[in-house]
Structure 1
């Protein structure tokens, strides 16, 4: 059974790009455009990995993680941010976060990181 990656980003270009790259690596990809949609998706069926934008409409990245962890849902999460240093400091509070990466990012780095985490 193939593993599933949930891509959560409000920018359509980033969602489509990540969806294509991750799908090419043989993984199932689900997408969400905001934290509320992501929360609903994760509680319905937990993915194996979440690529989560730090700043999102409705429920932002940190609040999504807070809600998940309050429900004892811990999915390995990579947080993407235009301000990675600020995000990295804040993300240390969450057990689910395994890495914080800056935007823009290199697609090969994403490909290698996803494969490394899910292998």
Structure 2
């Protein structure tokens, strides 16, 4: 069965880029433009990995991850942000986060990290 990656970002270009690259890796991709939309989709079908932009409209990454934690839904996550220092200093607040990417990120690095996380969490 194919592993599923959910890409949550309010920038359509980033969603499309990650979707294209990760589909080539053999993953099924779902996307959302904000945390609320992501939460609704996660309740429908839980992905194997989340790639979430830190700053999102309606519900941000912190709101999404906290809600999942409260509901005892564990999904390994990659946080993406232009504010890497702020996130790194508060990383202990996000137990699901396995990796933090600074935006803009290297797409080959992103692909390698996604593969590694999904292989670790079989």
* TM-score interval, normalised by the smaller of the two chains: over 0.9
* Cα pair 1:62 1:91 within 8 Å, conserved: no
Q: TM-score, normalised by structure 2?
A: 0.95
Give secondary structure in 1 for the equivalent of 2:59.
Answer: coil
Match of 2:46 in 1: 46
Give secondary structure in 2 for the equivalent of 1:92.
Answer: helix
Per-residue deviation, 1:59: 0.2
Per-residue deviation, 1:52: 0.3
Q: What is the RMSD of the two structures over their aligned residues, measured on CA atoms?
A: 0.8
Structure 1 residue runs without a partner (length 5+): none
Match of 2:35 in 1: 35
Q: Do residues 70 (structure 1) and 70 (structure 2) align?
A: yes
> Where has structure 1 moved over 6 Å in runs of 4 or more?
none
* Cα pair 1:74 1:95 within 8 Å, conserved: no
Per-residue deviation, 1:89: 2.1
Query: What is the rounded CA distance, in whole Å, between the counterparts of 1:51 and 1:3 in structure 2?
Result: 14
Per-residue deviation, 1:54: 0.0
Query: What is the rounded CA distance, in whole Å, between the counterparts of 1:90 and 1:36 in structure 2?
Result: 22
